[in-house]
Amino acid sequence: MGVRRRLAAVIPLAVAEIVATVSAHARGTGSPDAETVYIVTARQTYDAAGLLAREATAWKDSLGRELVIAQLDPLQIGALSRHVHEREQRCGGFFAFASRPEAEAFIVRDRTAEAIALPLGGLYTIDNQATVGPWLAQVSEANIHATITTLSAFRNRYYASPYGRQAAEWIRDSWQALAAERDDATVELFQGCSNCSTQPSVILTVRGAELPDEVVVLGGHLDSITSAFSVPVPDLEQPAPGADDDASGIATLTEIIRISLASGWKPRRTVKFMGYAAEEVGLRGSAAIANRFRDDGINVIGVLQLDMTNYRQNVGRDLRIVSDFSNTALTTYFAELFDAYLVPLGGVRSALACNYGCSDHASWTSAGFPAGMVFEAGRPQNPNNPWDLGAFQSIHSTADTLANMGNSASNSVRFAQFGLAFAGELGKTYDGAEDAIFSDDFEVVVD
């Protein structure tokens, strides 16, 4: 249950008049960011961003973490977005809603503490080497590079621009082509997000042959953004290549899909691959899907998020496992999978805390599902900057290009191998045998 108290009553009159003028102008343009947005963010982020909000109230989530609900006009949304992107050097950082009741309901229904503590170790086994092992050598850097090239060639993939929808449709068509020979696979555009403008999410579902009601999810976000969009009236023609953030994640997912489906793999559990809409403006697409799954009682047993997989500079690691806002048993499983499959290939892992709501896995965690994220190797972190996550410093700019990552997708190869291990081991392989070798006594249902 969220705890609420008043933070600030009214911003100064002069500022209020400026904001009102900006908002009125934006509404007159029909801009998708014209209307007031209600955000939920960490109190630390809210304070550091220096926001002035007409109605800001303090809350706590199920972990006791200090949060803020604030009514923001476009000017303040831009300031918050720039702070998260430029100072905290990460994606996400806040959840966005169309109304205060929606934002309050989100905190009241928060299941983060429950999701983190779910004891699912009995489900997280490693015994499917016969399927996973042959997959790993098939990962193609050239394929991942080609997908990143195509996605970053869209003028932008901003959620409210026509290019944002075109990119989603291109991903749908690409995934449909990879699943064309499979009668157990379907691809859809998920359009059940009320604040994602015209950008849908993309979902490819491979139905489980034995335990179809147990669901495994692998996802990444398909939209892109630059600081030029963080203004009251964004120019929807602004370039935002987003090669690392997050064309690399979608390209990695696409390679996982290609290899696993081409092998003839039939999972025992249902496996869903997702390209989320509107992550960069408040985790909107993933929140809509996770909340729908919660309301429908869908039994999701594990979620892997791939957000930025391709940047590595002067570090000895290949991949970092995000420790916060993640299910404890699942992050332990991530480490075990990495050690079983990637360490023998020379892989090196480390850990990372990425702060509140840093990507789409946070939507699943807040909805009560076990979720986690792996993040790119990055660069050495600045010990004098507590916000520095060692991320690619060109994210959210026109310089987020393959050219600025050595014109190579080699760093994403490890992530594709890891994702294949996750999908194969948690989805398992159906061989027609009646004596299932793993238990079906576990159920994760969020009511």
* Per-residue pLDDT tens over the stretch 120-142: 888 999 999 999 999 999 999 99
What is the side-by-side strand order in the sheet with 5-8? 5-8, 56-60, 66-72, 37-42, 94-97
Domain match, 216 and 365 both: yes
pLDDT of res. 31: 44
Q: What is the mean pLDDT of residues 254-263?
A: 98
Residue range 61-74, pLDDT digits in tens: 999 999 999 998 76
Domain end point (choices 110, 128, 148) = 110
Q: Which helix (H) or strand (E) holds 391?
A: none
Structural domain of 171: 114-427
pLDDT of res. 38: 93
Residue 307 located in a structural domain: yes
Q: Which residue has the higher pLDDT, 300 or 121?
A: 300
Residue 442 located in a structural domain: no
Q: Is the dihedral of CA 405, 408, 412, 414 positive or negative?
A: negative
Domain match, 122 and 42 both: no
pLDDT of res. 51: 79
Please, which pLDDT band fits residue 317 given cuts at 50, 70 and 90?
very high
pLDDT of res. 22: 32
Average pLDDT, the chain: 88
11's tokens: 């911003």
Domain match, 58 and 188 both: no
Domain match, 206 and 345 both: yes
Residue 277 located in a structural domain: yes
Nearest 5°: phi and psi at 446?
A: -100, 120
Task: Specify the range with the lowest mean pLDDT, choosing from 70-74, 242-246, 325-329.
Answer: 70-74
What's at 438, amino acid-wise? Answer: F
Give yes or no for residue 2 having a pLDDT over 70: no
Residue 261 located in a structural domain: yes
pLDDT of res. 35: 66
Domain match, 263 and 334 both: yes
pLDDT of res. 357: 87
Residue 155 located in a structural domain: yes
Domain match, 172 and 52 both: no
pLDDT of res. 33: 45
pLDDT of res. 132: 98
Buried b (16+ CB within 10 A) or exposed e, 237-266: ebebbbbbbbbbbbbbbbbbbbbbbeeebb
Domain match, 221 and 298 both: yes
pLDDT of res. 439: 44
Nearest 5°: phi and psi at 178?
A: -70, -25
Please, which pLDDT band fits residue 443 given cuts at 50, 70 and 90?
low
Q: What is the mean pLDDT of residues 381-397?
A: 84
Domain match, 297 and 418 both: yes
3 state DSSP class of 149:
helix
Please, which pLDDT band fits residue 232 given cuts at 50, 70 and 90?
low
Q: Which helix (H) or strand (E) holds 38?
A: strand 37-42
Domain match, 216 and 358 both: yes
CA 404 to centroid of chain Cα atoms: 23
Give yes or no for residue 445 having a pLDDT over 60: no
Nearest 5°: phi and psi at 407?
A: 50, 40
3 state DSSP class of 440:
coil
pLDDT of res. 414: 98
Pairing of the two strands 56-60 and 66-72: antiparallel
Determine contact, residues 83/45, Cβ cutoff 8 Å: yes
Give yes or no for residue 415 having a pLDDT over 80: yes
Please, which pLDDT band fits residue 441 given cuts at 50, 70 and 90?
very low
Domain match, 132 and 40 both: no
Domain end point (choices 110, 131, 162) = 110
Domain end point (choices 110, 137, 172) = 110
Contacts of 168 (CB under 8 A, 6+ apart): 189, 199, 200, 201, 202, 222, 275, 277
Cα–Cα distance measured from residue 75 to residue 37, given in angstroms and rounded to the nearest whole number: 11
Domain count, the chain: 2
319's tokens: 């991949």
Task: Specify the range with the lowest mean pLDDT, choosing from 90-94, 105-109, 397-401.
Answer: 90-94
Query: Residue 223's domain is classified under what CATH number?
Result: 3.40.630.10
pLDDT of res. 444: 54
- What does the DSSP assignment read for 274-325? EEESS-TTTSHHHHHHHHHHHHTT-EEEEEEEE-----B-S-S-SEEEE-TT
Residue 98 located in a structural domain: yes
Determine contact, residues 90/358, Cβ cutoff 8 Å: yes
Domain match, 81 and 142 both: no
Residue 436 located in a structural domain: no
Domain match, 205 and 63 both: no
Give yes or no for residue 411 having a pLDDT over 90: yes
pLDDT of res. 49: 87
pLDDT of res. 186: 98
Q: Which residue has the higher pLDDT, 363 or 443?
A: 363
24's tokens: 């009125």
pLDDT of res. 113: 96
pLDDT of res. 9: 31
Alpha helices in 154-197 (DSSP H): 162-178
Query: Catalytic residue numbers?
Result: 221, 245, 279-280, 307, 396
